[in-house]
Structure formats: structure tokens, C-alpha cells
Amino acid sequence: MNLFDLSGRVAVITGSSRGIGRAIAERFAEHGAKVAISSRKLDACGEVADAINARHGAGRAIAVAANISSKEALHRLVDEATAQLGPIDLLVCNAAANPYYGPMAGISDEQFRKVLDNNILSNHWLIGMVAPGMCERRRGSIVIVSSIGGLRGSGILGAYCISKAADLQLARNLAVEYGPYGVRVNCIAPGLIRTDFARALWEDPELLAQRTATTPLRRIGEPDEIAGAAVFLASPASTFMTGQVIVVDGGVTVA
């Protein structure tokens, strides 16, 4: 058996029209999975799905637009993915929001609530929609894309870091709840990755120089370097692993 084989598995990946989510979707498909591409804009999702189908054959990917702040939209995502691809075996909660950079004293209540709702509550909603079917079939892997921000403090990303720390605990809690049913829940904690989401950090020459100088690998990461960890957590290679976090940060948190 190929320990990284995802053949016959159905995956839903939020925030997968670009960046880390897209890289995960492409690698899942490469390893045999059928994938539901989802983000707010249908045309962007369609471009990714079309590229995957062109590479791996028709029917390997579908596009379903969904705003993670809408419970109704997430229900539609799950229903559409199940109807077109089959029962969901793999879920990657990757989409997130961060509308504010700066000290906690300056964040508005509306901004704080948006961070908590999009980065924690939406994951709780989506997992709650998918997990019962996984438990019934007694198999499934759920991956939450957290951040090393959940492991340390920040002077400019406080609310985001708080939400990502909560995601780590969400995974631990759900690992305990779903473990008896053979369903695993784990996190990936990326460091600074070259994505549009983190553009404000890596396009700032001063911030980038500070980060790379204190990173043992002396560079920031690329989206595909997170996808490998996701494939591992989704595959038979990690079947005795749950409630854990894989840190992929070039060594920042150990330096």
C-alpha cells in the first residue's frame, strides 16, 4: 500500500482558489483524491477546478463558491460536494480572515468579531456538518490550517494569533470527541508563506529582512511546502496521529 495514496477519497478544501489552499487541492488530486474547490468567488474556483481536471481527468475537481462567514453557504458547499463527488472523507479548513494589523488597543469590536467568526466559528460550523458522516463511516481526516501565530504573541497580529491558538485547541478537543469513531483532527501551523493573504508582511522589506534573518532556513516558505504536510495528515501515513499540530516554519519557532 502506498502510504500517501488518496485514491477514492473526497476532499473539501476552503480557501482553495489560491495560495496554500490551492496547493493542497492540487496535491490531493495528484495523490488520487476528488476535490471540491471553494472560496468566495466562483470564477476563481472554476479556474482551479478546470486546471485540475485538465491534468488529472474530468470529474476530479468541482468548484463551489462559499463565504465561510455564512452558515447557509457552508451547508450548500457540503451538500454540493456530497451530491457531485460522494461522501466527504477529507476536510481542510484553510480559509481565514485578518482585517486588522496593529496593536490590540486599536482593533474595533467589528474587526475582532470578524476574525473570531471567520477563523474559529466557521471551522466549528463546517466540521460539525461533515464529521457526523465521517463518524458513521468510521473514517475521516480533518485538517485545520492554523499558524505559528497561535504559538506565540505578536504586536501587530494579536486577534489573528488568538484565533489561531483557539484553532489548535479546537483540534485537540474534537480529536478527543471523534477519536472513538476513527476520525482524526489535526492542525498545520505555517510560518510566513508567500501568499496573497500574507502579502503585507513579505512585501515589506524591513519585516521580510527581520524574518529571514531569524529563520534558520533564511527564507520564507512557499504554498506547496504546506501541501506536503496536508497530504501526510490526510493519508494512511498518519493514521495514528490526532489532536496534534505540525509546525512548518523554516525553524522560526526553535531559533
Query: Mind listing the pLDDT tens digit for each residue in 131-175?
Result: 999 999 999 999 999 999 999 999 999 999 999 999 999 999 999
- In the residue annotation, 100 being an active-site residue is answered as no
Rounded Cα–Cα distance for residues 43 and 131 (Å): 28
Q: Which of 11-25, 83-97, 112-126, 185-199 has the lowest mean pLDDT?
A: 185-199
Give residue 50's pLDDT: 98
Model confidence at 196: pLDDT above 90: no
Domain range list for the chain:
10-249
Give residue 172's pLDDT: 98
Which residue in the list 101, 160, 178, 181 is annotated as catalytic? 160
Specify the DSSP class assigned to residue 221. B
202-220 burial, b for 16+ CB within 10 Å, e for fewer? Answer: beeeeeeeebbeebeeeeb
* Residue type for position 90: L
Give the contacts of 196 (CB within 8 A, at least 6 positions apart).
18, 19
Give residue 127's pLDDT: 98
pTM here?
A: 0.96
Give residue 199's pLDDT: 80
Rounded Cα–Cα distance for residues 97 and 4 (Å): 30
Q: Report the chain's mean pLDDT, rounded to a whole number.
A: 96
Sign of the C-alpha dihedral, residues 217, 94, 164, 243? negative
| 40-88 per-position pLDDT tens digit | 999 999 999 999 999 999 999 999 999 999 999 999 999 999 999 999 9
In CATH, what is the architecture of 10-249? Answer: 3-Layer(aba) Sandwich (3.40)
